[in-house]
Structure 1
Amino acid sequence: MRHEIFDPLLERTDLRPRPLPDLSVVIAAKDEAGAIAGLIREIDTALAGERFEIIIVDDGSGDATAEIVRDIGRAHPHVVLFGHRVSCGQSAAIRTGVQAALGPLIVTLDGDGQNDPADIPALLARYRDAAGSVPARMIAGQRARRNDSLVKRLSSRIANRVRAGLLGDGIADTGCGLKLFEREAFLRLPYFDHMHRFLPALMQREGYRVLTHMVNHRARRTGRSKYGTWGRLRVGIVDLAGVYWLRSRFTRPEIVE
């Protein structure tokens, strides 16, 4: 049986002659018509002076998210749209965007506007400062003060402590959507649904260095959360067990010649 491999780079229609970006901002968006245009404007402001592109992956939205991004992209060619026919989840959307990215560095943030694009330059500076003999492959944002409901904050705090205790990744807030990492490093990771919640641990599994940086977190101004507390808890337990198994079954060979 012949299996078709989806390669977003082969599907890009915006590859006009122009300098390649140094950075690709990847945003997974579902039903974020009220936030996406403002978020793109904020990214443009934050990254003025950088060579970058913005890739929006519309994950089966039922609103006008795709139409809004498509209209912006007609006037601003650095804004690129990909669309999933049906919703496949945040991890799948991030993977589509990273596969399509032209920049060697990736920044991810949530499409709801709660991550602050003004923090991206600080993550870039932290990455560039760490380019020594043991360079960092990921800078993970850590929310200084979460603007979410009490139930969401408490459930996330418990989940982070359990995860950190089992995986020992040293990350206090792995759920922060604002992250910077090398595209090549991400594409080496094993892919599975909900993997975006375990990116620091998966990077460390490959022997990559992960640093953290405190970032802002804003209240949601439009739309609603796509995650239910109990549903996320149920799949989170299964995913955590899977990542624990992946780490325990990995042997990194020492190349001597």
Structure 2
Amino acid sequence: MQTSTNQTGQYTFTIIVPVYNEEDNIARLEEKLSNYLPQSLYKTCVLFVNDGSTDDSGSRIHQMCDRHPGFFYIEMKRNGGLSAALKAGFDYCFSEYVGYMDADMQTDADDFNLLLPGLANCEFVTGIRANRKDSFFKNLQSKIANGYRRMMTGDGVSDTGCPLKVMYTDYAKRIPMFKGMHRFLPALILLQNGNVQQIPVRHYQRIAGKSKYHLWNRLTGPFIDCFAYRWMKKRYINYHIVASNLH
């Protein structure tokens, strides 16, 4: 974990983009994000997290970052999954705000401008995928998983799987990340006494690459993880320093 600041500290908002074998989407990511940055509500950079890709994603990310001064990357030694990639992104981010989007291009970076104003009143703002373009079976799995998670966590979030979120970086860094915990980000912010807001965002069909999710990690994995969250919720330490003479 990087403890000293890096170039992201020169920006107000950092977009983390976890990437695992998405070579066919890199060019579209570059076009969308490079067009969004000048339109962002804040001075914004992008941090790509190459999560051990075995295709040409890594070299294409390097080339893309060479072309754009606001594009940065870190590379994982091996594939660790979305929660590991997000933790690495949070650890290496030093802007005031941080958000993330998937590399599958099923959400639109422009919609960050719908979420960011919410940070004036909340510590965490998540998108809700309006008019989802996934298959009936995939939507059904998601609906079941979201309903069960809401019942177990009480987070009140209707679509925790939406890959478009923004939050305060200091809250993100305090999230206890384990495998599968990316599904519980709103609940983990609530543990810190933060406030959560939900806003509808656009959703598109995947036109390149392949989904990394299947029945196990949409339903069975989250079912087990809910019990881990409930164990954690009872034991979570939340403290606030009111005075210090440290310099």
Which residue matches 2:181?
195
For these two proteins, the number of residue pairs brought into alignment is 241
- Does residue 1:234 correspond to 2:226, yes or no? no
Using a 3 Å threshold, how does the CA distance of structure 1 residues 179 and 19 change in structure 2: closer, same or farther? closer
Q: Where does structure 2 lack aligned partners over 5 or more consecutive residues? A: none
Using a 3 Å threshold, how does the CA distance of structure 1 residues 9 and 195 change in structure 2: closer, same or farther? farther
Select 1:69's aligned residue among 56, 61, 79. 61
How big is the shift at 1:251?
6.4
Which residue matches 2:20?
30
- Does residue 1:125 correspond to 2:120, yes or no? no
Using a 3 Å threshold, how does the CA distance of structure 1 residues 126 and 241 change in structure 2: closer, same or farther? same
Specify the SS of the correspondent of 1:48: helix
Q: Where does structure 1 lack aligned partners over 5 or more consecutive residues? A: 1-5, 131-135
1:255 and 1:37 mapped to 2: Cα distance? 46
Which residue matches 1:114?
106
Q: Alignment RMSD, CA only?
A: 2.2
- Does residue 1:7 correspond to 2:19, yes or no? no
Which residue matches 1:163?
149
Which residue matches 1:139?
125
How big is the shift at 1:142?
0.8
Using a 3 Å threshold, how does the CA distance of structure 1 residues 46 and 231 change in structure 2: closer, same or farther? closer
- Opposite residue 143 of structure 1, the aligned amino acid is R
**Cα contact 2:30–2:64 (8 A) shared by 1:** no
For residues 20-68 of structure 1, give each alpha carbon's deviation from its aligned partner in whole angstroms, at most 9, with x where no partner exists. 1111000101011111221232123223154111110111111111111
TM-score, length-normalised on structure 2?
A: 0.90
For residues 160-207 of structure 1, give each alpha carbon's deviation from its aligned partner in whole angstroms, at most 9, with x where no partner exists. 111111211110001111000111001112121111110000100111
1:107 and 1:254 mapped to 2: Cα distance? 24
How big is the shift at 1:254?
8.8
- Does residue 1:81 correspond to 2:76, yes or no? no
Which residue matches 1:133?
none
Which residue matches 1:3?
none
How big is the shift at 1:8?
7.6
**Cα contact 1:31–1:64 (8 A) shared by 2:** yes
- Does residue 1:150 correspond to 2:136, yes or no? yes
Using a 3 Å threshold, how does the CA distance of structure 1 residues 88 and 253 change in structure 2: closer, same or farther? closer
2:73 and 2:63 mapped to 1: Cα distance? 10
Select 1:94's aligned residue among 86, 93, 97. 86
Using a 3 Å threshold, how does the CA distance of structure 1 residues 253 and 22 change in structure 2: closer, same or farther? closer
**Cα contact 2:2–2:92 (8 A) shared by 1:** yes
For residues 94-126 of structure 1, give each alpha carbon's deviation from its aligned partner in whole angstroms, at most 9, with x where no partner exists. 111121123110110011111111201111122
Using a 3 Å threshold, how does the CA distance of structure 1 residues 122 and 47 change in structure 2: closer, same or farther? farther
Which residue matches 1:211?
197
**Cα contact 2:142–2:218 (8 A) shared by 1:** no
Using a 3 Å threshold, how does the CA distance of structure 1 residues 111 and 144 change in structure 2: closer, same or farther? same
Using a 3 Å threshold, how does the CA distance of structure 1 residues 97 and 89 change in structure 2: closer, same or farther? same
Indicate the larger mover: 85-94 or 227-236: 227-236
**Cα contact 2:94–2:169 (8 A) shared by 1:** no
Which residue matches 1:181?
167
1:231 and 1:201 mapped to 2: Cα distance? 19
Overall identity of the aligned pairs, in %:
30
**Cα contact 1:66–1:81 (8 A) shared by 2:** no
2:9 and 2:218 mapped to 1: Cα distance? 41
- Does residue 1:40 correspond to 2:30, yes or no? yes
TM-score, length-normalised on structure 1?
A: 0.87
For residues 66-86 of structure 1, give each alpha carbon's deviation from its aligned partner in whole angstroms, at most 9, with x where no partner exists. 111101111212111111121
2:240 and 2:65 mapped to 1: Cα distance? 46
How big is the shift at 1:230?
2.7
